[in-house]
Amino acid sequence: MTDSTERRQMRRAPEGVGNQVRSERRITRRVARRRQARRRVVLLVSGLVVIAVVVALLLIFLGSPGGGSSAETTRTTQAAAEDDGSAASPSTVVLALRQTGTIPVLVLLHPLSSAGVAMGMLGATLVKTSQGFKTLAELENGGQGDSVVASSLSDLLGLKVEGVTVIEWQVLLQALNRLGATGAWPQTLGGTSSAATQAMDAVMALAAKAGSADWQAAVGAMAFKGDGADLRLTLKAAAAAGWSKTSMPGRAVEGVDFSYFEPDAAVAKTLLGGRSSGAAVTLEIQNGSGLAGGAEQAAGVLKPLGYTLLAFRNADDFPDVETTRIIASSDTAGEAARLQTLLGVGKVEVDAGQAAGHIVVIIGKDFTPPASSTTTQSAQ
Instruction: Mention every residue, 6+ apart, whose C-beta is less than 8 A from residue 294.
Output: 287, 363, 367, 369, 380
C-beta neighbour count of 156 within 10 angstroms: 19
CA nearest neighbour of 320 among 283, 361, 284, 291: 291
The residue ranking higher by pLDDT, 24 or 192, is 192
Q: What is the DSSP string of 189-215?
A: --SSHHHHHHHHHHHHHHHHTTTSTTH
The residue ranking higher by pLDDT, 216 or 240, is 216
C-beta neighbour count of 348 within 10 angstroms: 18
Cα separation, 216 vs 230, whole angstroms: 14
Instruction: Please give the order of strands across the beta sheet that includes 93-99.
Output: 163-168, 93-99, 102-111, 116-122, 244-247
CA nearest neighbour of 270 among 333, 185, 206: 333
Q: State the pLDDT at residue 196.
A: 85
Strand 244-247 vs strand 308-309: parallel, antiparallel, or unpaired? unpaired
Q: Across all residues in the chain, what is the average pLDDT?
A: 79
What residues does each domain of the chain span? 1-87, 93-273, 278-363
Out of 50-59, 104-113, 210-219, which region has the weakest mean confidence (pLDDT)?
A: 50-59
Beta bridge partners of 302: none
Class of domain 93-273: alpha beta
Among 21-25, 164-168, 218-222, the range with the most confident prediction by mean pLDDT is: 164-168
Dihedral in degrees, nearest 10, Cα atoms 106, 108, 109, 110: 180
The residue ranking higher by pLDDT, 134 or 342, is 134
Q: State the pLDDT at residue 275.
A: 59
Q: Are 356 and 277 in contact (CB under 8 A)?
A: no
The residue ranking higher by pLDDT, 62 or 291, is 291
User: What would be the CATH architecture of the domain defined by 278-363?
Assistant: 2-Layer Sandwich (3.30)
Q: State the pLDDT at residue 245.
A: 78
> Does 261 have pLDDT greater than 70?
yes
Alpha helices in the chain (DSSP H): 3-12, 15-62, 70-84, 136-141, 146-157, 169-178, 193-208, 215-220, 229-238, 265-273, 294-302, 333-343
Q: State the pLDDT at residue 153.
A: 94
Confidence of residue 78 (pLDDT cuts 50, 70, 90): very low
Cα separation, 241 vs 227, whole angstroms: 26
Q: Over the stretch 310-348, which tens digit does the pLDDT of each residue have?
A: 999 999 999 999 999 999 887 787 788 778 878 889 998
Cα separation, 197 vs 185, whole angstroms: 10
**CA distance to 66, 76, 86, 100, per residue, from 70 (Å):** 12, 10, 21, 50
Q: Are 104 and 122 in contact (CB under 8 A)?
A: yes
Confidence of residue 373 (pLDDT cuts 50, 70, 90): very low
Give the H/E segment covering residue 350: strand 347-350
Angle value at C-alpha 258, between 257 and 262, nearest 5 degrees: 160
Q: Over the stretch 5-36, which tens digit does the pLDDT of each residue have?
A: 555 555 555 555 556 656 666 777 776 777 77
Q: State the pLDDT at residue 76.
A: 28
Mean of pLDDT values over 178-201: 85
Confidence of residue 65 (pLDDT cuts 50, 70, 90): very low
The residue ranking higher by pLDDT, 116 or 284, is 284
Mean of pLDDT values over 176-192: 87
Angle value at C-alpha 261, between 260 and 263, nearest 5 degrees: 145
SS3 288: coil
The residue ranking higher by pLDDT, 1 or 68, is 1
Question: Are the folds of 93-273 and 278-363 the same?
Answer: no
